[in-house]
Every structure is written in C-alpha cells, then in structure tokens.
Structure 1
Amino acid sequence: MTSPELSKARLDLRPPAGVNPEIPSWAKNDYVLNKWIQEERPRRRRYLKDQQLEAWEPLPRSQFEKPIFEAFNKPFRKLFAPLNARFSNKPLHYFLVTRRVVSRVFVPMWIVHYFVKYHIAAKGNITVSKPLVYPGGK
C-alpha cells in the first residue's frame, strides 16, 4: 500500500463519515482506515453527547474557589438549586455574573464618584455653575 499524499492525510481534508461514506481511492485497500471511516460519524456523535452534563452530574469546580468564597456562595447555591435543576444552571450563572459586574464595575464607579463629588469638588478644585437665585423664588 502506498502512503497518501500529505494534503490527503490532513485532518481537515478527511473524507466525510457516515453509514456508507465514499472511501477515497488511496484508502480502499486499507482495512483499518476503511473501518475507521465507517465508524467516524457515530464516534463523533457519541463524543458530543458525552460532553453534555446531565442534571445529576457535578459541575467542574472553579480553579479560584477558596473556602471563604465557598462560604459566601453556598447560601446562593442552595437558593438557586431548584431553578438550576430546571434551567441548566443558568439562573445561578446569571446571578454570579451580575454580582461580579456590580462588585467590579458599579461599586468602584460609585466610590470614585463619591470621592470626586465630596472630597475634590468640595475643596473648590472643580467649579460647578449653580442656578441663579431670584428674590421671592424658592
């Protein structure tokens, strides 16, 4: 048997797999490759099906999980447990993402705003025009 050309041996140029795939001429006499081509589609489908977690399977643990963070997250996990089982862990995911955005974006923005408004602007470094006060007005 002659070896296939390099371009034909590349993974992205493999023949299509299926029940009765068309076998390229360079692979017709190779029993192993012939069998491999016939089994490729079911193998890929099984692989993709195995990648989906069932409701009873554990989620992969985060590499940043520490006991202190787990103590904070445990009540929220218990709170969202019924919804997570029904909606594939989406409610807890969205809650944790929202909490992360609030704690890393909005709270620091509020702190900077507070500091500028009450500590920098109050010393007169920033001038803000005030509305005119007329006699008899409020």
Structure 2
Amino acid sequence: MSQSTVFLYDGDCAFCSKCADFIDRRVDTPASVQPWQWSDLAALGVTEEQCDAAVQWISPGQPTAAGPEAIAKLLRSAKGAAGLWKAAGVALGFAPVRWIAWPAYRWVARNRHRMPGGTAACSLSQAQREAQRAAA
C-alpha cells in the first residue's frame, strides 16, 4: 500500500487532465495528483477498472473513495487559506448533495468529450483506447 495520499485521474482524457492541472494550480492539497495509467495500481490497492470508472482517492488507513466522494476528500484536504475548497468538500459530503453528485458525476463522465478541453478520445474506455492504439 502507498505511504502517501494519492488522487488518481484519467491521464488519457484531455478534460480530466485539464481538471487535474486546475487542482495542481489552485488546490493546495497534500495528495499527489497523478494519472492512473502511470501509477502502480497494485501497490495502491485499486484496479484499472475502478480507475477507468471514476477518479480515486487513496489514503493510508482509510477506505478508498471514488468519484464525487474522492473529489470531496481532495477538497477537504486543502491546506492553508483554503476555506472555500474545504467548504465545497464538506458540502459534497452532505446527503442531499451526495444523492445528486453521483448522477451528475456520471453525466459529466459520459459527456467529458464535449466539455472544455475534451477530445474524442475522452469518450472511449481504456480498453477502447488501447485497441485503437494497437490498430494504429
């Protein structure tokens, strides 16, 4: 298991990479924000399928969180003068917001190729992207 906290995202998706860049620039978090494709998933205790389905928050001694729950943990981990980020993370943890968060997350995931910075490759699963690369 990893000895540090990690937030994994889809590094093959331009929209996801843009969001990760935003996190790196704006959210002072102790987590390492990294693409899952270049991470040791076995050492982190997650599978490719889990990472392909949603972002992952992996922190020693805590259960792994995915999707909006992972985003909430990332925001709550913000350091320094990060009150707004922490507040957003806390809000994302409230039941009514949580009930809406997963359907909203899934909608964004299905439509990430249409989001700013998205590309056609963002609409493909990891298996489809690998098959496309092999055929090229």
- Please tell me the TM-score bracket, short chain as reference: under 0.3
Q: Relative to total residues, which structure has the larger strand share, 1 or 2? A: 2
Larger RCO (CA under 8 A, 6+ residues apart):
2
**TM-score normalised by L of structure 1:** 0.20
Which of these two proteins has the greater Rg computed from alpha carbons? 1
**TM-score normalised by L of structure 2:** 0.20
